[in-house]
Amino acid sequence: MLAVLVVLVAAGVTAYRLRPVSATSMPSSGVALLTGYGVVGASGTSLDPTTVVLTSAQARSVARAISELPSLGHGATFFCHGESTDFVVRVMRARGEHPYWTARDLLCPSPGYLLINGRGATQSLGSVCALRQLVVSLLPRGAAPGTRGALGLCPASAR
């Protein structure tokens, strides 16, 4: 099994984790959809979705950005009052089918994390700000103001 070595630095302690590529990598085939939201509510509700079909080049850019995110570990759990979804990337074999791979940007704890479900695994990834910038650039201009607003949760150096 291929693995990516991920280095995490937290509170001055360096930890190394092997992240299985198969558990977190975005599939390279199928239909990839990106959904951003007009309203990303604090109560865990995201409303007014805007969904776009990603081109092959766009899907590869998103996959590359996701592959560079550090792992928060298998089974990482966060306790928040309502988990708001900033955006969702879904991959399905054909449009209209049930997605077999999903990545959700959840905003709690701030600035957020990416929760991936697919290929029989669940994985939490951190440092989502660069991915968030890419996602906003792929949405139609003026659409999904809630998703665009979540960039404000990222440190200025990450925007």
| pLDDT tens figures, 43-52 | 778 999 999 9
Range of the structural domain that residue 39 is part of: 23-158
Q: How many domains does the chain divide into?
A: 1
Looking at the domain assignment, is residue 1 inside a domain? no
Looking at the domain assignment, is residue 17 inside a domain? no
- Quick one: which of 46, 158, 47, 55 has its CA closest to 105? 46
Looking at the domain assignment, is residue 6 inside a domain? no
Looking at the domain assignment, is residue 3 inside a domain? no
Rounded percentage of the chain residues whose pLDDT exceeds 90: 53
Mean pLDDT of 61-83: 79
Of residues 142 and 14, more confidence is placed in 142
Looking at the domain assignment, is residue 2 inside a domain? no
Tokens 């990482």 -> residue: 76
